Structure formats: structure tokens, C-alpha cells
């Protein structure tokens, strides 16, 4: 069975501080990993996906297959980064099955 674990429900950091949102997964094959974000009063939207290896809004995430992790990082947090972040996994052979972690609320303080 697929499982996505986000151990932190809430993460508070000061503006300008580095931030790391943790995500671990368990899956027997080679999954696709994503980070989705939900800003206040906005719809859930894709932030980044591991296959793109891109940096979006200063965020990066590296897939570590050895540690089965896909942590989201940003070197200098901004107040506008405050949002709910969900790590998500899509099954290798059933790519329409997206599973979400429990989410981490990031609060960036001024």
C-alpha cells in the first residue's frame, strides 16, 4: 500500500530563515512525487513535481530513494509562503491514483 507521511502538522519560522517541510513515503515501485500548496482562501494547486527538477518560488525538493523522502526546502522563507503544504504520491502503474499526506501548515512570521 502507498503511504505518504508528513510528520509536522505545523511549522513556524521567521521571515528570512530556512525552511524544510518533511515528506516520507512508502511505495513498492517507483512513484511520482509532488508538492501541492493551498494558500488561504485559494484552491489546492501544484507547487512542484520531482520529475521536473525545477525550482518554484524558491522552493526545491529532491527525491531521495534511499531514504524514501521528498523534503521541500527553501533557503529564505517569505511571509507569502504561509500556507498549507501537501506532499502527494502517484502510483507508478496507476498514475491516476494520487495520495496525499496529512499536510503541514507553514507559518512565516515577520
Partner 1 sequence: DTEVTQTPKHLVMGMTNKKSLKCEQHMGHRAMYWYKQKAKKPPELMFVYSYEKLSINESVPSRFSPECPNSSLLNLHLHALQPEDSALYLCASSQTQTGAGTGELFFGEGSRLTVL
Residues binding partner 1 (CB under 8 A): 32, 34, 36, 43-46, 49, 51, 86, 88, 90, 92, 94-103
* Closest distance to partner 1 from the beta carbon of 95 (Å): 4
* Closest distance to partner 1 from the beta carbon of 7 (Å): 14
C-alpha 23/C-alpha 89 separation (Å) is 10
| Shorter beta-carbon distance to partner 1: residue 19 or 88 | 88
* Closest distance to partner 1 from the beta carbon of 76 (Å): 26
* Closest distance to partner 1 from the beta carbon of 46 (Å): 5
C-alpha 42/C-alpha 96 separation (Å) is 23
φ and ψ at residue 83, rounded to 5 degrees: -175, 180
| Shorter beta-carbon distance to partner 1: residue 78 or 97 | 97
| Shorter beta-carbon distance to partner 1: residue 70 or 86 | 86
Q: Phi/psi class of residue 7: alpha, beta or left (left: φ > 0; alpha: ψ in -120 to 50)?
A: alpha
C-alpha 63/C-alpha 34 separation (Å) is 10
Contact indicator for 89, 99 with CB cutoff of 8 Å: yes
| Shorter beta-carbon distance to partner 1: residue 12 or 78 | 12
Amino acid at each position: 500500500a502507498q503511504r505518504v507521511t508528513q510528520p509536522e502538522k505545523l511549522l513556524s519560522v521567521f521571515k528570512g530563515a530556512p525552511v524544510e517541510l518533511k515528506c516520507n513515503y512508502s511505495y513498492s515501485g517507483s512513484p511520482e512525487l509532488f508538492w501541492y500548496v493551498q494558500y488561504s482562501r485559494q484552491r489546492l494547486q501544484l507547487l512542484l513535481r520531482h520529475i521536473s527538477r525545477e525550482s518554484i518560488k524558491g522552493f526545491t525538493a529532491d527525491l531521495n530513494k534511499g531514504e524514501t523522502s521528498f523534503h521541500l526546502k527553501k533557503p529564505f522563507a517569505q511571509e507569502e509562503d504561509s500556507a498549507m503544504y501537501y506532499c502527494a504520491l502517484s502510483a507508478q502503474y496507476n498514475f491516476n491514483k494520487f495520495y496525499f499526506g496529512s499536510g503541514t501548515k507553514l507559518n512565516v512570521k515577520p
